[in-house]
Amino acid sequence: MSPRALFAPASAGPPGSALVRPWLRIVRLVRYRFFLYAGLMPYLLGAAWAAALLRRFDATLFWAALGGVALAVVGVEAFNEYFDARLGSDRVFNVEDAPPMSAAVLWLGIGAFATALAVGAYLTARVGWPVLAFALLGGLAAVFYAAPPLRWAYRGLGELVIGLSYGPWLVLGSAYLQTRRLSAAELLASLVPGLLIMSLAVVNAIPDYHQDRLVGKRNLVVRLGRRRAVGLYLGLAAAGLIVVVAGVAASIFPPQCLAALLALPLWVLSARRAARSYEQPRRFAPAIRSIVLYYLLAVSLFIAGILTHRWHL
């Protein structure tokens, strides 16, 4: 189902389906996969770092903040869908197939962000003002990623904003929530998901090159062209694992974190597919799937390496 149809009038169905259907549509809008790799993984990394390496973990704070992250992702998805539809970036080649975007999507985003802010206020009262600073940084990035007047995604800054939001800001915020401190080691660890999620932001825009260019969405793919964008996303994805190797070599990360290198075959698979199909959106889809799996496996193994280190102490 296209996100454009999520809040369109529904046809008749079994009794009670009218109450269930709107919630199912919201779940589809939010896209659980985006929450999994963009929101959940870096949050877990910060919590794992605090628990395994610094021996600090508060379950109440962990679950409260996780709820706030989930709400923020709902807001991000709702705002992006609404403003992309209003600005025309998703309607260039399918105008007749895309029903009007309902204002309910905008209000869903506003409600999600407002509730996430309330969670942030609670956590600030418990932990201190740096939590609110991280929340506000993430909020500015999320709200104005596609929304005017800033529209980061339309100014060539969207990929960087995504990398910062789902890398350093989220990892450091999660770790600080448990430890009340920040360190250069945690910042280095945050670059692993940050570089990889930035790679995903670039690769996802390659199939949309023509429609983004036509509506003035001057992201990095439009600015660089598709061929060079392939090199950029592969370089960013490789850089994430280079950070892992450098951190282990410098005795900043536990040696077990090198297990993240097991994801490299997926990088190679994505590179081979991208080289043959970057100008053909349908054939390019497997290259995107491979780099998504690469992200999930690399970050999961990096987190597992941190947690395993605790068991060996």
What is the per-residue pLDDT across 243-275, written as a single tens digit (0 to 9) for each? 999 999 999 999 999 999 999 999 999 999 999
In this predicted structure, what is the pLDDT of residue 11? 44
pTM flag (> 0.85) = no
What pLDDT does 305 receive?
Answer: 95
SS3 per-residue string spanning the chain:
CCHHHCCCCCCCCCCCHHHHHHHHHHHHHHCHHHHHHHHHHHHHHHHHHHHHHCCCCCHHHHHHHHHHHHHHHHHHHHHHHHHHHHHCCCCCCCCCCCCCCCHHHHHHHHHHHHHHHHHHHHHHHHHCHHHHHHHHHHHHHHHCCCCCCCCHHHCCCHHHHHHHHHHHHHHHHHHHHHHCCCCHHHHHHHHHHHHHHHHHHHHHHHHHHHHHHHCCCCCHHHHHCHHHHHHHHHHHHHHHHHHHHHHHHCCCCCHHHHHHHHHHHHHHHHHHHHHHHCCCHHHHHHHHHHHHHHHHHHHHHHHHHHHHHHHCC
Average pLDDT, the chain: 82
Give the pLDDT score at 68: 87
Give the tens place of pLDDT for each residue, 168-224.
Answer: 999 999 999 999 998 999 999 999 999 999 999 999 999 989 888 887 888 999 999
pLDDT for position 128: 87
Q: What CATH number is given for 22-311 in this structure? A: 1.10.600
16-75 pLDDT, tens digit per residue, is 454 455 455 555 555 545 555 677 899 999 999 999 888 889 999 999 999 888 888 888
The mean-pLDDT minimum among 34-43, 84-93, 127-136, 181-190 falls in 84-93
pLDDT band of 10, cuts 50, 70, 90: very low
The residue extents of the domains of the chain are: 22-311
